[in-house]
Amino acid sequence: MARSVAATAAVLLAGCCALGALSGAFVPPPAAKAAPPAAALGAAALAAPLAAHAEGDGVWIPALSAVGAGFAIGLAAIGSGVGQGIASGRCIDGISRQPEVADDLRGVLLLSLAFMESLTIYGLVIALVLLFANPLIK
C-alpha cells in the first residue's frame, strides 16, 4: 500500500512539473472583441427590409427565397422519407406476425404512402413557387 501511494505521489509530482514546464508553450487566447452596440443592430434590422426592396441592387429576396426553397424541399423529403420508412417497417412487422391480414395491411400501407408522398410534392410545389413565381418580388 505504501509503495502505491508513493508511486502515485511521484507520478502526480512529475505531471505537475511537466505541466509547469510546458505552460509557456501554450498560445494565449485572442482578446475578446467588443460587441456591436444594440442600436447598430436595431438599425441594421430596420434597414434590412429596405435593402431587400431596393431598386436594382436588392438581392435579398431572391437569395432568401432560394434558401427557403431549399429548406422546403429538404424538410419535406426528410420528413416523408422517415415516415415512409417507419410505415413500411411496421407493415412488414405486422405481415410477419399475422400473414393472414397481409392484403389488408398492404392496401392501407399503399394508401398511407401515397398521402406521405403528396406532402413531399407540396414541398416541391412551394419550392418551385419560391424559385420561379415568387410573389414577394415586385
Answer whether 72's CB lies under 8 Å from 127's CB. Answer: yes
CB contact set of 28 (below 8 Å; sequence gap of 6+):
none
DSSP string, the chain: -HHHHHHHHHHHHHHHHHHHHHGGGSPPPPPPPPPPPHHHHHHHHHHHHHHHT-TTT--HHHHHHHHHHHHHHHHHHHHHHHHHHHHHHHHHHHHHH-GGGHHHHHHHHHHHHHHHHHHHHHHHHHHHHHHHS-TT--
For residue 137, the model assigns a pLDDT of 74
For residue 100, the model assigns a pLDDT of 95
For residue 122, the model assigns a pLDDT of 92
For residue 61, the model assigns a pLDDT of 78
- pLDDT tens digits, 10-67: 887 887 777 676 666 656 666 767 665 666 666 565 555 555 555 555 667 788 888 8
Whole-structure pTM value: 0.52
